[in-house]
Amino acid sequence: MVSRVEFRVDDECKQRLDDLAEERDASISEVLRGLIDEAWEAVMVERRLQLVREIASLQGEVPDDPQDLFRELESRFESDSLP
C-alpha cells in the first residue's frame, strides 16, 4: 500500500531537495524515501548500540544456550523495544 503525504517546505529546503534529486538522478519522492530509510537505519543502529551497552553492563554469566539468553534478555527488556 502506498500513502500520499503532503508537507510544506521553504524555498531553500525545496532547492536542496531539487539539488539532491538531480544529483541522485531521482524524483523528489525517491529522495525523501531514501532519506527516511537512512534516518530510520541510523535510529535502529543507535538502539542496537544502546542495547549492547546495557547488555555489556549486566553483571553475571551469559547463558551458553541462545534460547536461555533470549529469555533472560526478554525478561529484562520490553520485547517491543528490540529492533
List, for residues 15-35, the tens digit of each pLDDT value: 999 999 999 999 999 999 999
How does pLDDT run across 37-77, given as a tens digit for each residue?
999 999 999 999 998 888 788 777 777 888 988 887 788 76
pTM above 0.85, yes or no: no
CA distance linking residue 70 with residue 79, whole number of Å? 10
In the chain, % helix, strand, coil (3-state, to 5) comes to 70, 0, 30
